């Protein structure tokens, strides 16, 4: 009975001492650990480098140093309590690696290397004790000189041990030492778990700071094209994917378009419209994430963006960008190797998308507002305000880069007669069809605008007079051949066109519009349905 009471009292004392020791160490170690962690803001560090894990090796080394520093004071106390010359903690690098090495020691300096510690018999005894989960002793003259106890770390694997070594003998008897060793091993396991958890938290904190920095940078980007490209580029960094594209989705119209893609993205994912029935369309409609570690079979199931595409990819993920539960877009990320995208990578991509949604929504809304303010509501062409700004820009660029630009002004012949005969709705339909002919007949760099009424215009950068006249004649012929059907009537119209050019360095910059308008006047008074330059 007395022995039991003594054992209970000694256990309580050990718990109290351990608790006080942990509290004391926590106050000291927290500041030291924070100070030791690499600062994200140090010169030369970028968010991209953090997300790529360029300093992973340094972080592993830091983890080992923090663990050694945290364990050493406790091991010193254990050595002092039992009269040990040295107390070491042994651990394998992973659950799959049976080889143990020393990760902490009561002595000053760098812990000794496990492969050279003691002799072969003593090292074998350490490995046996850890593997068999048995307390072991190495004796000399009947007294234990080395005492070993296995340590069960948080993973539950038998992957370590605490080893006490004495010069001659321990001050604690063998039986008492056998009782104390499991307590010390448990305390070591708890300390290692605390340190490991803190290191994981530090890594996640570092990662989150990097993501937040990226988000801050994205908030500074107000150009849609640039922002969309940056989001795709960051998607590769946070997921390790080989390619990424961004879909802009209109939930009301139930339609989407690819607005950006990284280099190397398969052609079928790099641009174009998104079909509602495609995998990406369904993901946006249902606001649900989909990913496949092995995406090689997707070709047989249908298209990712369009129903008729044939995509071959190793791994693929569709990550809707949600605003109040509704998709405003989606990230499509993929890798050539199967298994490259897993739950962790998809989670990182989803988090990036969540952080980028606000920036995307703002620039898209601003761009849409700007577009509407510069667009003619009836025809969808640019309005007079945008035309004037773009003409000034193209003239300035012509002076800067050389060459010539052209201005084409087009007027629908007898447009008033169309309105009087068929009604204003028919006139609107004619305007829309003629505008479509012009818009579809020019390059993406050209500017097609409605100046007012039935007057339309084209600004053609880096275009000679011959090239502008050739284009104008082609558009005139297409308009003449066109039939506009409205309310059972078939309406034919023609256009008169005036063409003028501006050459770099000439003194006629302010006269180009006037000259094109004069050529249009000549075309209308010369019989209409013609091009005059």
Separation in Å, CA 76 to CA 21, 23, 86: 12, 17, 8
End-to-end CA distance of the chain: 118
**Neighbouring-strand partners of residue 105:** 88
Whole-number Å distance between alpha carbons of 185 and 152: 8
Secondary structure letter of residue 300 according to DSSP: H
**Neighbouring-strand partners of residue 163:** 88, 148
- Please give the structure tokens belonging to residue 281: 């369309």
Phi, psi (deg, nearest 5) at residue 244: -155, 145
Whole-number Å distance between alpha carbons of 471 and 418: 26
The predicted pLDDT at position 7 comes to 40
Whole-number Å distance between alpha carbons of 190 and 26: 13
The predicted pLDDT at position 150 comes to 92
The predicted pLDDT at position 450 comes to 96
By residue count, the chain amounts to 533
Whole-model pTM? 0.55
How many helices (H) and strands (E) would you count in the chain? 14, 18
The predicted pLDDT at position 95 comes to 62
The predicted pLDDT at position 256 comes to 93
Whole-number Å distance between alpha carbons of 426 and 428: 5
Q: What is the pLDDT along the chain (533 residues), one digit of tens a residue?
A: 344 434 433 444 444 334 434 444 444 444 443 344 334 344 445 666 565 555 556 666 767 787 888 899 999 999 999 999 999 999 887 666 778 999 999 998 888 988 899 899 999 999 999 888 899 999 877 788 999 999 988 755 557 999 999 998 899 998 999 999 999 999 998 888 888 777 777 766 766 777 777 777 787 888 899 999 999 988 988 888 999 999 999 999 999 999 999 999 988 888 889 989 888 999 999 999 998 888 877 766 668 888 666 666 789 999 999 988 999 999 999 998 888 888 878 888 898 898 889 889 888 888 888 888 899 999 999 999 999 999 999 999 999 999 999 999 999 999 999 999 999 999 999 999 999 999 999 998 999 999 999 999 999 999 999 999 999 999 999 999 999 998 889 999 999 999 999 999 887 788 999 999 999 999 999 999 999 99
Whole-number Å distance between alpha carbons of 321 and 318: 10
Instruction: Determine the Cα angle at 182 with ends 189 and 132, to 5°.
Output: 85
The predicted pLDDT at position 418 comes to 93
Whole-number Å distance between alpha carbons of 387 and 377: 15
Contacts 24+ apart (CB under 8 A), 32-38: 32/69, 33/66, 33/198, 33/202, 36/62, 36/65, 36/66, 37/62, 37/202, 37/206, 38/62, 38/206
Contact 269, 257 (CB under 8 A): no
Domains belonging to the chain, first-starting first, are 33-206 (3.30.450.40), 224-370 (3.30.450.40), 384-532 (3.30.70.270)
Return the closest-CA partner of residue 86 out of 145, 18, 22, 166.
166
Whole-number Å distance between alpha carbons of 40 and 282: 39
Which residue has 């351990």 as its token pair? 18
Would you call 425 helix, strand, or coil by DSSP? helix
Instruction: Return the sign of the alpha-carbon dihedral for residues 457, 459, 465, 466.
Output: negative
What lies within 8 Å, CB to CB, of 395 at 6+ separation is 405, 502, 509, 512
Helical segments of 382-505, H only:
384-401, 415-422, 424-440, 465-481
The predicted pLDDT at position 294 comes to 86
Whole-number Å distance between alpha carbons of 486 and 425: 8
Secondary structure letter of residue 404 according to DSSP: E
The predicted pLDDT at position 53 comes to 57
Return the closest-CA partner of residue 276 out of 323, 225, 311, 327.
327
The predicted pLDDT at position 162 comes to 95
**Neighbouring-strand partners of residue 88:** 105, 163
Whole-number Å distance between alpha carbons of 406 and 480: 23
The predicted pLDDT at position 479 comes to 95
């Amino acid at each position: 009975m007395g022995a039991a009471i003594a054992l209970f009292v000694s256990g309580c004392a050990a718990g109290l001492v351990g608790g006080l020791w942990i509290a004391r160490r926590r106050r000291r170690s927290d500041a030291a650990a924070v100070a030791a962690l690499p600062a994200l803001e140090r010169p030369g560090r970028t968010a991209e480098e953090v997300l790529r894990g360029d300093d992973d090796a340094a972080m592993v080394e830091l983890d080992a140093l923090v663990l050694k520093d945290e364990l050493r004071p406790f091991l010193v106390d254990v050595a002092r309590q039992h009269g040990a010359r040295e107390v070491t903690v042994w651990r394998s690098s992973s659950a799959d690696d049976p080889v143990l090495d020393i990760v902490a020691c009561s002595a000053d300096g760098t812990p000794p290397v496990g492969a050279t510690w003691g002799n072969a018999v003593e090292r074998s005894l350490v490995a046996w004790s850890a593997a068999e989960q048995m307390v072991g002793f190495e004796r000399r003259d009947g007294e234990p000189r080395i005492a070993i106890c296995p340590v069960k770390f948080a993973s539950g694997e038998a992957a370590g041990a605490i080893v006490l070594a004495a010069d001659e003998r321990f001050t604690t008897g063998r039986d008492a030492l056998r009782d104390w060793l499991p307590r010390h091993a448990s305390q070591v396991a708890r300390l290692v778990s605390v340190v490991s958890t803190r290191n994981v938290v530090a890594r996640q904190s570092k990662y989150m700071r990097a993501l937040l920095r990226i988000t801050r940078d994205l908030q500074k980007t107000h150009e849609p094209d640039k922002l969309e490209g940056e989001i795709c580029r960051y998607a590769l960094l946070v997921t390790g994917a080989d390619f990424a594209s961004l879909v802009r989705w209109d939930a009301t119209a139930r339609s989407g378009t690819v607005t950006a893609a990284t280099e190397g993205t398969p052609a079928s994912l790099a641009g174009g419209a998104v079909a509602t029935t495609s995998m990406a369309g369904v993901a946006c409609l249902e606001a649900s994430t989909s990913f496949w570690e092995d995406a090689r079979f997707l070709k047989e199931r249908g298209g990712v963006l369009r129903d008729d595409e044939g995509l071959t990819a190793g791994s693929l993920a569709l990550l809707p960008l949600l605003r109040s539960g509704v998709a405003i877009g989606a990230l499509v990320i993929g890798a050539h190797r199967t298994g490259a995208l897993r739950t962790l990578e998809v989670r990182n991509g989803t988090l990036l998308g969540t952080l980028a949604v606000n920036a995307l929504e703002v620039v898209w809304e601003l761009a849409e507002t700007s577009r509407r303010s510069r667009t003619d509501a009836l025809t969808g062409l640019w309005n007079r305000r945008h035309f004037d700004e773009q003409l000034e820009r193209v003239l300035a660029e012509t002076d800067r880069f050389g060459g010539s630009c052209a201005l084409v002004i087009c007027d629908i012949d007898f447009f008033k007669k169309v309105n009087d005969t068929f009604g204003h709705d028919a006139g609107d339909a004619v305007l829309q069809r003629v505008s479509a002919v012009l818009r579809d007949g020019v390059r993406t760099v050209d500017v097609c605008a409605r100046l007012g009424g039935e007057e339309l215009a084209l600004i053609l950068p880096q275009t000679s007079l011959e090239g502008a006249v050739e284009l104008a004649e082609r558009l005139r012929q297409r308009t003449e051949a066109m039939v506009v059907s409205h309310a059972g009537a078939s309406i034919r119209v023609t256009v008169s066109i005036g063409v003028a050019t501006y050459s770099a360095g000439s003194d006629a910059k302010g006269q180009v519009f006037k000259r094109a308008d004069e050529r249009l006047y000549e075309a209308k008074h010369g019989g209409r349905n013609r091009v005059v330059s």
